[in-house]
Amino acid sequence: MVYDCIVIGGGVVGSSAAYSMAMKGKETLLLEQFSLPHTRGSSHGATRVLRTSYEDPIYSQMTVEALQLWKRLERETNTTLFQTTGLMVISDPPHDVFERSFKSVQATGGNCQELSQEEVHRRHPGLLRFSANQRIYVEHDSGTLRADKALACLREQIKKFGGHIQDDEKVISIMPGRVVTVRTNKGTYRTHHLIITPGAWISQLLEPFGLKIPFRVERINVCYWRETNPGSTKNMMTFLDVSKEVYGLPSSEYDGLMKVCLHKGIETNPDCRDVCIDDKSDVEQVCNFITERFPGLECKPSVVESCMYTLTPDGNFVLDNIPNHPNIVFGAGFSGHGFKMAPVVGRILGEMVMGEKPSYDISLMSMKRFPGATLSSNL
């Protein structure tokens, strides 16, 4: 059998790509190296922030559409995935990122407004402190995604549209051609089109093609902090401090706790992520943030879990074709922002692999922006 499309990587982007292809009637196979569901990559956990505030308008536009696609998935599966909470964006001077993000949301028609510190205190009394020069704006339509349910719904729909999912299958090799051969630890598969979305393992699969893109894999400590007043954060807006790179949201995972994390971590090898790391500087930064800014939470985390980010030097995604092999595309380097946009990114990858014009201008996501990304290849 020759599939129309194989997708490597069963995280949220790969699942979205497989869903998009299966929905188009393509005979689709999704391969995942671990047993589903799992906590080894970047897509696990119960919640993600969905916001439209990005400095580059292209990401704001993609997120606005992605929210509509998540809502479509809600209707298809009769499952609630998105909860509107509002999002506070907080900034210390200088306010360059704040200003650009605010204008980007306005440009996409977003419902946002700048608030005074007094207005925030009235909404959330006793929870937050601000310094004198901080500014705040609120995206009223932003909120949280139920990540675990979203992944389950995507897998359900892949199968509903005739797609196949095979987990616990690690890809060993890829042989390009008009028909691509994919060999795993369990078997060999053939396909006319291949989409590669393995998250933190992307470099291992690109290396045989002679591609060396400067991805950085980081282990992120996901921290949950106990409320000093039980129930006080249940209806709180999510927040993002763009100066401190700290974000937070009400916890769906643990009653009485709030998720507050630093948006960066410690470089790691994805196959060695469970090795004990003595460097806790990221957790200490959040401890200091909470002590200074968040009197509504205890200043030591009650629960610390981990996930992985795959980052690029400039923070932009990488969506591109394998050189000389137009029927093979890849997506990676989502830098901690990929979950919310996954329905749009998955569709774009499907458009690319089928030779169609992408529905967005993705020129800033080309690997060609990295000198030396393309080396020699034997494939």
pLDDT digits (tens), the chain, 379 positions: 999 999 999 999 999 999 999 999 999 999 999 999 988 899 998 899 999 989 899 999 999 999 999 999 999 999 999 999 999 999 999 999 999 999 988 988 999 999 999 999 999 898 899 999 999 999 999 999 999 999 999 999 999 999 999 999 999 999 999 999 999 999 999 999 999 999 999 999 999 999 999 999 999 999 999 999 999 998 899 999 999 999 999 888 899 999 999 999 989 999 886 665 666 789 999 999 999 999 999 999 999 998 999 999 999 999 999 999 999 999 999 999 999 999 999 999 999 999 999 999 999 999 999 998 876 666 6
Q: How many CA atoms lie within 13 Å of 85's alpha carbon, on the beta-carbon side?
A: 28
pTM for this prediction: 0.95
Q: Which helix (H) or strand (E) holds 188?
A: strand 188-196
Provide the pLDDT for residue 98.
Answer: 93
Provide the pLDDT for residue 372.
Answer: 81
Provide the pLDDT for residue 351.
Answer: 99
- Burial class of 361 by CB neighbour count within 10 A (0 to 12, 13 to 18, 19+): exposed
CA-CA distance, 63 to 281, in Å (whole number)?
31
Q: Which residue has the tokens 């080309």?
A: 366
Q: Residue 203, by phi and psi: left (phi above 0), alpha (psi -120 to 50) or beta?
A: alpha
Q: What angle do CA 241, 245, 251 make, to 5 degrees?
A: 70
Distance set, CA 164 to CA 33, 55, 349 (Å)? 14, 38, 18
CA-CA distance, 77 to 93, in Å (whole number)?
44
Provide the pLDDT for residue 126.
Answer: 87
Asked if 43 contacts 151 with a C-beta cutoff of 8 angstroms, the reply is yes
Provide the pLDDT for residue 19.
Answer: 99
Provide the pLDDT for residue 66.
Answer: 98
Asked if 272 contacts 345 with a C-beta cutoff of 8 angstroms, the reply is no
- Burial class of 40 by CB neighbour count within 10 A (0 to 12, 13 to 18, 19+): buried
CA-CA distance, 17 to 79, in Å (whole number)?
20
CA-CA distance, 140 to 205, in Å (whole number)?
41
Q: Are strands 135-139 and 112-115 parallel, antiparallel or unpaired?
A: antiparallel
3-state secondary structure of 14: helix
Q: Which helix (H) or strand (E) holds 50?
A: strand 47-50
DSSP one-letter code for 354: T
User: Which of 26, 41, 76, 82 has the alpha carbon at shortest distance from 340?
Assistant: 82
Tokens of 216: 């950085």
- Burial class of 225 by CB neighbour count within 10 A (0 to 12, 13 to 18, 19+): buried
Lay out the sheet containing 82-84: strands in order across. Answer: 47-50, 143-146, 82-84
